[in-house]
Structure 1
Amino acid sequence: MSEEGCQLRELSNLNNLRGSLAIADIRGGGSKESINLKSKEHIRKLQLEFLKYQRDDDGSAIELFEPHPNLEELVVWYYGGSKFPNWMEFQSSSIMLRRLQISECRNLEILPPWANLESLQCLFLTGLDSMSPMGLFNGLEASSTTVAYPNLKELTIRNMKHWEEWVMEISSEDINVMPLLRDLYILNCPVLKSVPHQILSQSVKILFISDCPELIISWLPPLLEELTLDGDAGSLSRSLPFNDNTSLKEGWIRLLICCAIKVGDGIGIISRIPNFEITVRQGYNEGQLHTKIHKPLYFVRTVDLSCVAIETLPNEVGSLIHLRYLDLSKTKLVELPESVCNLRNLQTLKLTSCEKLPRLPEGLRKLVNLRHLELNYTDALECLPKGIEELRCLQTLSMFVMSEKGCQLRELSNLNNLRGSLAIADIRGGGSKESINLKSKEHIRTLGLQFVKEDYKGERDDSKNLRTFFVWGLFSGLEASSITVAYPNLKELIINGQKHWEEWVMETSSEDINLMPLLQRLDIYECPILKSLPHQILSQLVRILFIVNCPELTISCLPPLLEELIFDGDAGSPFSDNTSLKVMRIQYPPHSTLPQGLS
């Protein structure tokens, strides 16, 4: 809505509108007849967004937006009145409303009597700072109903910063409250003390509590399957009131915590839950993990601390003898306690991107059930501990670091279950083909070999030989060969960091050799003096060309079917007319003008 542009009354004759309609910057004015929303039977979702700074006439303005009974979802933002109009009671027997979201209505004191809505399945309330404790159950006392919110399945209460009591005052316990409620989310209600016991019904399967430090919950729904505690979840952050209920044997309990926690009397129950997971949420930014491992948590199977800024693990982690999965990826760990080696049932250990971790525990060989050891991007890792060969169940070993101090290359010999990718770093002389036995590892699909980088001293300059090797190396033997197709199935070619590569030459006596006929992507990075490419490389099928920091490179003709062209930094002069081009991206150009040929 705007005083300068289109007026609200112009919606009147648009009776074919269907699907979703959002009306923004609502203010007073107009009439019910001029808007005529009630006649628009095909609108299924209506969003009403008032001016954020509430106006005195919001109460009269919302009167204008009564929808057709076919409406399925209503969203209201920033409404400034203390109560909603009568039409929002949805008393029509034909009403189809399924979802209601009321957000940031700071002055709203009470909700309409929605407890009688039989069609309502999802209710989302956030930022209702003035709502009374009885607001959610308005009209229930005077109603003749025996079931409140009969089909509600999801309830979210969020950012109720002044909501201290959540009250349900009814004289009869015969009223069944939210009998089908499945998901209950309570987030950022800092002074909320309790939840009506009727809410924690038999049907609740997912309970999510976040940043409610004063909340006290003395019992959990008996059929609960997923429990998430984020931040300070009040009493649940200190004690979990599990009861001895056989339904938990089939349940899946997931705890998301970032504070110390212990289980109450239900120790035996935890031991029978097949999947019990503790996760510290991303964003936990202290240097040490202060969570103490209490005895009742010894039965946890999964611990996920990925992306947590911890430097050490407590020794108590070794007490989790039933642990199957431990994810420490992207942490700031500088060491792993030796007690980790007590986790005899551990099957997965993830250390990806632990960039400050120099070594692994010496007793790692004790983890005889370990199947997956992920070490990608652990750049500080100096060696693997001796005895890796004893991990006969190992299927994933993403990096093997050779070292005279640690594990020797020959220990790879008996790890015949390895599969997927294997990178061997810091390779130097020693060993033999038989001792490594890579040829027998039929399930390895990607093999990376990284040799020790020699540090040249003095004035020695191998740049000339290096350039010659790179220039001719790619097409070595092609001249003397009888083949007619070179690299017949190559689809992607990446050339990176050839700092002394000035000419890329392909000298053959015959033009009949078909070079890389299926090449689809060509990436050339950081070749600062490279001047040209063989014209045979830019084949008919090349779809993507990516050039990064090649300031001297000149390309006179682009592949005719090129679809994506990316320049990063100074990419030389690689542009010409190309009608098939769909995407062109220029990143961090060093020049103030666009490449020649771009109009």
Structure 2
Amino acid sequence: MIDLGSSDSNLSSLPDSLCDLVHLRYLDVSCTKVVKIPNSIRNLRNLVYFSCYGCEELSHIPPSISNLRELRYLNFQSTKVEAIPMELNNLEKLSHLFGFVPYKNSLEGFSSLDVLESLSKLIELVLEGLERVDDRNIAERANLRSKNLLRDLSLVYTSLGSEEQLSQTDEKKISTEDVLNELCPPRSINYLGIHNYFGRCLPNWLNLGAALPNLRNVQIWDCACFEVLAMLGQLPNLDRLKIKSAYSVKRVGEEFMQGDTKSRDPIVHTISGSARPAFPELNYLIFEKMCNWKEWQWNKGQPAMPKLKELIIKTCPQLRSLPEGLLLYATSLEFLRIDGADNLITVENIPPIKNICVFNNPNLERISNLPSISCIVINHCPNVKAVMNPKPLQTMVLCDYEMEFLPDYLTTIITHKLRIWCDEELLLKIVNQGESGSEWNKFKHISKVKIATGDESLHATYQKTPFSFTTNINASSDKVTSSDEA
């Protein structure tokens, strides 16, 4: 085994003597300055693992790589390699192939997608630069659906900003859609990632839940052109779903929640005569950077996501409210994080929720009626006026380095522990006011309170029974003391 990646990041070429090690099985030159792979690489006939990950100067792979017939692992990710020799199809034992960049066609001695046809033992596959291929027949010949060992598949397009994606011609968008529709994975697939795709819709095969029974993790990132999400609710064992930077999506509705394309009922997936909700096994759902998303339509009468445990909504500034269906049917939901939902005003009436974190929601005014809640975190939500709950909390955390006074709603909070993060000025105000101060009155009914600056260089702690108050601030001089006793 030789790992040059971790030992010499300044390596620019492979030593000639290296290729004389005919029994070498493991070679890693990741994150070095290697410019090219020598033809003598052919001598390493017993090589099983070869990684060039992060070799940013590497642009050429010699045809002699075809001699590495024992190779199982090959990684070209984060390099300048844009053309891989046709001889790659001789590496029939490959199980892990990362950073494969297809040539437009296979007529110039370089590999296009059809070269993958002979690689039947693939378990993990990362395809990059897929926009280079505009012939759906080449994609069809890759025959991904026949690779019954394939578990992880990433389909990556050249990274373009959202405006650049939207500006692609209709012809290019159509050809991109056609190629992706031919890259249907096999039933064995467990993970699917689609990145920087600029087609106008997701591939048709994502609507065929029964055809992908083992798919558990789907991540869709930076896809600016499609306006409607696929009917992912049909995937029978989907456990984790992340959708990020779907720029054009304005509404998430019935097409997303639909359970069965054969049924007239747009919600229910029927199996053996019994009704099955959409997303029957989904545990984790993340929507992030959905800049134009305004409405999530999931109405009463649309059962879905009965096992959802965690929901994260991040940087969705136009989202107005949480859907009624979430409140009714997500009966296993325990954790909710909402970050950067500028138009959201209330979070309420979610019976099962145990932990909620709200971050940077400038217009959020009310958090209420969460009967199972035990922990609330409020971070830079300056307009919250009411936090109302029938059940005492175990912990509440309040963080805002711009607030001049503690919020009035603290007087009605029933919690065992309160943690406050604030700036130095407010902390000094609280300490100097003492027990008779207006700020003190907002939290003195709480059992345990800790107040601190961000780096905790200044802090104070309060306990109701038996009474104690400690701080590292000298109340008379506003200076840090040498002990924690005030």
Q: Does TM, scored on the shorter chain, surpass 0.5? A: yes
Q: Which amino acid aligns with 1:204?
A: I
Q: Which amino acid aligns with 2:126?
A: F
Structure 2 CA distance, aligned partners of 1:294 and 1:232? 26
Report which of the two has the higher share of helix.
Answer: 2
Q: In the alignment, does 2:420 pair up with 1:423?
A: yes
Question: What corresponds to 1:559 in structure 2?
Answer: none
Structure 2 CA distance, aligned partners of 1:297 and 1:358? 27
Shift of 1:116: 4.1
Question: CA 1:202–1:448 in structure 2 vs 1: closer, same or farther (change >3 Å)?
Answer: same
Q: How many residues align?
A: 384
Q: Is the 8 A contact 1:41 1:68 kept in 2?
A: yes
Question: CA 1:322–1:466 in structure 2 vs 1: closer, same or farther (change >3 Å)?
Answer: same
Question: What corresponds to 1:348 in structure 2?
Answer: 355
Structure 2 CA distance, aligned partners of 1:475 and 1:26? 62
| CA deviations over 1:360-408 (Å, ceiling 9, x no partner) | 25xx2x3222222111444x256544x55x323x222113999796453
Q: Is the 8 A contact 2:82 2:101 kept in 1?
A: no
| CA deviations over 1:86-145 (Å, ceiling 9, x no partner) | 4x3327xxx6432223544544434565534454322322215147434356598xxxxx
Q: In the alignment, does 2:110 pair up with 1:123?
A: no
Structure 1 CA distance, aligned partners of 2:58 and 2:127? 19
Question: CA 1:270–1:200 in structure 2 vs 1: closer, same or farther (change >3 Å)?
Answer: farther
Q: In the alignment, does 2:213 pair up with 1:222?
A: yes
Structure 2 CA distance, aligned partners of 1:191 and 1:344? 44
Question: CA 1:343–1:358 in structure 2 vs 1: closer, same or farther (change >3 Å)?
Answer: closer
Shift of 1:296: 6.3
Structure 2 CA distance, aligned partners of 1:298 and 1:72? 44
Which aligned pairs between 1:5-404 and structure 2 lie closer than 5 A? 12-13=19-20, 18-21=26-29, 24-26=34-36, 35=40, 37-39=42-44, 41-42=46-47, 44-45=49-50, 47=52, 62-75=62-75, 84-86=85-87, 88-90=88-90, 96-109=93-106, 110=112, 114-117=116-119, 119-128=121-130, 129-130=132-133, 132-135=135-138, 138=141, 148-159=146-157, 191-193=176-178, 199-210=184-195, 211=197, 212-214=199-201, 215-217=203-205, 218-220=207-209, 221-230=212-221, 231=223, 237=229, 239-240=231-232, 242=234, 248=236, 252=239, 254=241, 256=243, 258=246, 259=249, 260-262=252-254, 263-264=257-258, 265-267=266-268, 268-270=275-277, 273=280, 275=282, 277-281=284-288, 283-286=289-292, 289-295=294-300, 299-300=304-305, 301=308, 304-310=311-317, 313-314=320-321, 316=323, 320-323=327-330, 324-325=333-334, 327-331=336-340, 333=342, 336-337=345-346, 340-354=347-361, 356-357=362-363, 359-361=365-367, 364=368, 366-378=369-381, 380-381=382-383, 383-385=385-387, 387-388=388-389, 390-392=390-392, 394-399=393-398
Structure 2 CA distance, aligned partners of 1:21 and 1:381? 53
Q: Which amino acid aligns with 2:177?
A: L
Question: What corresponds to 1:580 in structure 2?
Answer: none
Q: Which amino acid aligns with 2:394?
A: Q
Structure 2 CA distance, aligned partners of 1:10 and 1:289? 62
Structure 2 CA distance, aligned partners of 1:358 and 1:137? 50
| 3-state SS, counterpart of residue 127 of structure 2 | strand
Q: Which amino acid aligns with 1:157?
A: L
Question: CA 1:131–1:160 in structure 2 vs 1: closer, same or farther (change >3 Å)?
Answer: farther
Structure 2 CA distance, aligned partners of 1:131 and 1:156? 18
Q: Is the 8 A contact 2:267 2:278 kept in 1?
A: no
| CA deviations over 1:535-590 (Å, ceiling 9, x no partner) | xxxxxxxxxxxxxxxxxxxxxxxxxxxxxxxxxxxxxxxxxxxxxxxxxxxxxxxx
Shift of 1:70: 3.2
Q: Is the 8 A contact 1:343 1:367 kept in 2?
A: yes
Question: CA 1:341–1:470 in structure 2 vs 1: closer, same or farther (change >3 Å)?
Answer: closer
Q: Which has the larger radius of gyration?
A: 1
| 3-state SS, counterpart of residue 351 of structure 1 | strand
| CA deviations over 1:284-321 (Å, ceiling 9, x no partner) | 334x6333344566644467454315166237458633
Q: Is the 8 A contact 2:218 2:242 kept in 1?
A: yes
Question: CA 1:115–1:310 in structure 2 vs 1: closer, same or farther (change >3 Å)?
Answer: same
| CA deviations over 1:20-58 (Å, ceiling 9, x no partner) | 24784349xx8x5xx25324635621549999898xxx7
| 3-state SS, counterpart of residue 328 of structure 2 | coil
| 3-state SS, counterpart of residue 19 of structure 1 | strand
Shift of 1:237: 0.8
| CA deviations over 1:317-370 (Å, ceiling 9, x no partner) | 586334435644441536523xx333333333211344x357425xx2x32222
| Percent identity of equivalent pairs | 9
Instruction: Give the aligned CA root-mean-square deviation in angstroms.
Output: 5.1
Question: CA 1:383–1:16 in structure 2 vs 1: closer, same or farther (change >3 Å)?
Answer: same
Q: Is the 8 A contact 1:322 1:345 kept in 2?
A: no
Q: Is the 8 A contact 2:51 2:75 kept in 1?
A: yes
Structure 2 CA distance, aligned partners of 1:276 and 1:117? 33
Q: Is the 8 A contact 2:313 2:339 kept in 1?
A: yes
| 3-state SS, counterpart of residue 321 of structure 1 | helix
User: TM-score scaled to structure 1, two decimals?
Assistant: 0.50
Q: Is the 8 A contact 2:303 2:325 kept in 1?
A: no
Q: Is the 8 A contact 1:252 1:275 kept in 2?
A: yes
Q: Which runs of 5+ in 2 are unaligned?
A: 1-11, 107-111, 160-172, 259-265, 269-274, 453-458, 461-473
Structure 1 CA distance, aligned partners of 2:353 and 2:364? 21
Structure 1 CA distance, aligned partners of 2:278 and 2:55? 52
Q: Is the 8 A contact 1:116 1:150 kept in 2?
A: no
User: TM-score scaled to structure 2, two decimals?
Assistant: 0.59
| CA deviations over 1:495-516 (Å, ceiling 9, x no partner) | xxxxxxxxxxxxxxxxxxxxxx
Q: Is the 8 A contact 1:89 1:113 kept in 2?
A: yes
Question: CA 1:119–1:135 in structure 2 vs 1: closer, same or farther (change >3 Å)?
Answer: same
Q: Is the 8 A contact 1:116 1:149 kept in 2?
A: no
Q: Is the 8 A contact 2:320 2:343 kept in 1?
A: no
Question: CA 1:204–1:232 in structure 2 vs 1: closer, same or farther (change >3 Å)?
Answer: farther
Which aligned pairs between 1:516-531 and structure 2 lie closer than 5 A? none
Q: Is the 8 A contact 1:318 1:342 kept in 2?
A: no
Structure 2 CA distance, aligned partners of 1:139 and 1:197? 9
Q: Is the 8 A contact 2:146 2:186 kept in 1?
A: no
Structure 2 CA distance, aligned partners of 1:367 and 1:62? 62
Q: Which amino acid aligns with 1:225?
A: R
Q: Which amino acid aligns with 1:474?
A: S
| 3-state SS, counterpart of residue 117 of structure 2 | helix
Q: Is the 8 A contact 1:216 1:234 kept in 2?
A: no
